[in-house]
Amino acid sequence: MKKVNLEINGKKISKEISDHTLLSVFLRDILNLTGTHIGCDTSQCGACVVHVDGKSIKSCTAFAADLDGSKITTIEGLSQNGKMHPMQEAFKKLHGLQCGFCTPGMVMSAIDLLKNNKKPSDTEIREWLEGNICRCTGYQNIVAAVKEAASKM
């Protein structure tokens, strides 16, 4: 067992966990933050993307023990005072989702893109999202949503 101290969505958390606990499992099963989805569980689909110290990573492929002392943001940490994040708004407005399973990862990944590239082109958005798989939308509306969010952020 290992004790980890993390700041998750602005809240300091201290927990005893098994050494092999994955961040995705820690978030969902221990903290009940089930907005982070586990799709493929092999770091291909991107449904589990969260931010660690401001950078997007796949939480299914990181040990929670390894991230001791980090600041983590999940999809639950995006809205402010009950108001959706502009990226969430844009996905809603432009139908950037159908079943919604991939959406938390898409949103978290897209926000990371806009941190370094304020006005990405369609190609840059598509290239950035290559680690996020959606089996419903065909991606068109996801790309449109990211562009819309970029114009609002």
**Taking CB under 8 A as the criterion, which residues in 102-121 touch other proteins?**
109, 112-113
58 lies in the binding site for other proteins (CB under 8 A): yes
16 lies in the binding site for other proteins (CB under 8 A): no
Applying CB under 8 A, which of residues 56, 73, 88, 137 lies at the interface with other proteins? 56
Applying CB under 8 A, which of residues 35, 46, 77, 120 lies at the interface with other proteins? 46
DSSP 8-state symbol, 28: I
Q: Nearest CA to 148 among 127, 129, 120?
A: 120
What are the φ/ψ torsions at residue 90 (nearest 5 degrees)? -65, -40
Applying CB under 8 A, which of residues 5, 19, 118, 152 lies at the interface with other proteins? 19
2/15 with CB nearer other proteins: 2
What is the spatial distance between Cα 78 and Cα 63, in angstroms, rounded to a whole number? 23
Q: Is 63 helix (H, G, I), strand (E, B) or coil?
A: strand
